[in-house]
A and B are shown apart, each in its own frame.
Chain A
Amino acid sequence: MSQSLNRLDRRAVVARLLKDRGEAIVVTGLGSPTYDVAACGDHDRNVYLWGAMGGCAVMALGIALARPETPVIAVTGDGEMLMGVGSFATIAMQAPKNLTVVILDNGLYGETGGQASHTLVADLAAIAAASGIADARAIDAMGDVEGLATRATALGNAPCVAVVRIGQAELERVLPTRDGHAVRARVRQSLGLSID
């Protein structure tokens, strides 16, 4: 309990991350990260996932490879990322300079009753580093979130994976649209592409 009191507030982390997002495209992992990004306000370049568990980071990779000059940020949770840890190696093989994967790690499956997640024993930042992600960070302080926001909203030298340790409090759900077709049309339009 005392440990969780010192952990970062997930909404404050995401709000700081996206405060000056500029042209960035943001892909959200299902569950609380989707609500956290929605809580910062709706945006034409938000891609809200409500399913496809394990696919958030690698979907962001597809966007990043297609738009090498545009920062792409995946914001997901520890449970969602655990289902797709192979994506770290897939991302490392491509090494896009415009991709940042931010994992909000509260150590539990909040959406399904708060069961413990494997980050109790598994270190996602170390897994990312061992998968070839040179810039893999573990973040415990808001000061480091500042640096992460600067990195995530610009082009770096290599992809970045940041595991941000957040508190376990269950917050109000802020529900964005579940219409994936509408999201698709909006994102593509914002990039100057046809809706289909």
Chain B
Amino acid sequence: MNAAHPHALHASPAGWPGDIFFALKAARVRQVAYVPDGGHAELIRAIHADPAMIGIPLTTEEEGVALVSGAWLGGDRACLLMQSSGVGNCINMLSLVRNMGGPFLTFVTMRGEWGEFNPWQVPMGTGTPDAFRLMGVHVLRADRPEEVGPATAAGIRMAYEGGSAVAVLLAQQLIGAKVFVK
């Protein structure tokens, strides 16, 4: 995969993306599916650079729900990285998680909730926690960098040890509102 991801080499995640990366690695998570997001860029680079992990780019987020369920049927731990706009795309596919059970873990970078310039991000940003709850996914949240590690650890424990469906929301303040320059 590194041929397709030349920038993956020499990645060394730090800060809260590093907290997520090293926790996933310690939990032996192997398949990491994602729809790219700027807030996840550093984590995605680190995953592609790690030979013990498979980075799986998706064309749409609901693919990731099905893929994560399949990975676990086959014996792999897996998780899904996306931004809040993708959560709505997952709604019906989450019936797979409800019906088959098993761990489901996703890390969602939030847009449209704090100083967002782009109003098209706001409806799904506002609706993200409710969308997850509607489909029975437990929601954890980190607003500050020092909260990411504990929220990740809690999510990993609930998903891979308890078999629960868990979303960890990463607040927009962590990433910063995207700046559009005219």
Residues of A bordering B, CB below 8 Å: 25, 27, 47, 49-56, 58-67, 70, 84, 86-87, 89-90, 93-94, 180-181, 183-184, 187-188, 191, 193, 196
Contacts and interface: CB of A to CB of B under 8 A. Distances in A.
Contacts of B93: 52, 54-55
A63 B71 CA distance: 5
Interface stretch (B12-20, B60-68, B113-121, B129-137): B60-68
Contact of A66 (B59, B63, B71, B99): B71
Contacts of A188: 73, 75
Given A55-B96, A56-B66, A86-B58, 13 more contacts: A59-B67, A63-B70, A63-B74, A64-B74, A65-B74, A66-B74, A66-B75, A67-B75, A86-B59, A90-B56, A94-B56, A181-B99, A191-B74
Contact of A55 (B31, B65, B74): B65
Contacts of B76: 62, 65-66
A53 B73 CA distance: 18
Interface of B: 4, 30-31, 54, 56-60, 62-63, 65-76, 78, 92-93, 95-96, 99-102, 163
Contact of B73 (A47, A56, A87): A47
A60 B62 CA distance: 14
Contact of A181 (B69, B72, B100): B100
A59 to B, nearest CB: 4
A87 B59 contact: yes
Contact of B66 (A52, A93, A180, A181): A52
Query: How would you classify the secondary structure of chain B's contact residues: helix, strand, loop or mixed?
Result: mixed
Contacts of A47: 73
Contact of B99 (A51, A54, A61): A51
A62 B62 contact: no
29 contacts: A25-B74, A54-B66, A55-B62, A58-B58, A58-B70, A59-B66, A59-B70, A59-B96, A62-B31, A62-B66, A62-B67, A62-B72, A62-B73, A62-B76, A63-B71, A66-B30, A66-B72, A66-B76, A67-B75, A84-B63, A90-B67, A180-B96, A180-B101, A184-B73, A184-B100, A184-B102, A188-B73, A191-B75, A196-B163
Contact of B95 (A52, A60, A66, A90): A52
A90 B73 contact: no
A55 B95 CA distance: 11
A84 B100 CA distance: 20
A128 B69 CA distance: 23
B101 A184 contact: yes
Given A87-B59, A180-B100, A58 B75 contact: no
A94 B96 contact: no
Count chain B CB atoms within 10 A of each CB in A55, A58, A84, A184 and give the residue with the most.
Answer: A58
Contacts of A66: 30-31, 70-76
A89 B59 CA distance: 8
B122 to A, nearest CB: 26
Contact of B4 (A49, A67, A87, A93): A93
A90 B60 CA distance: 10
A58 B99 contact: no
Contacts of A63: 70-71, 73-74
Nearest to B103: A196
B57 to A, nearest CB: 6
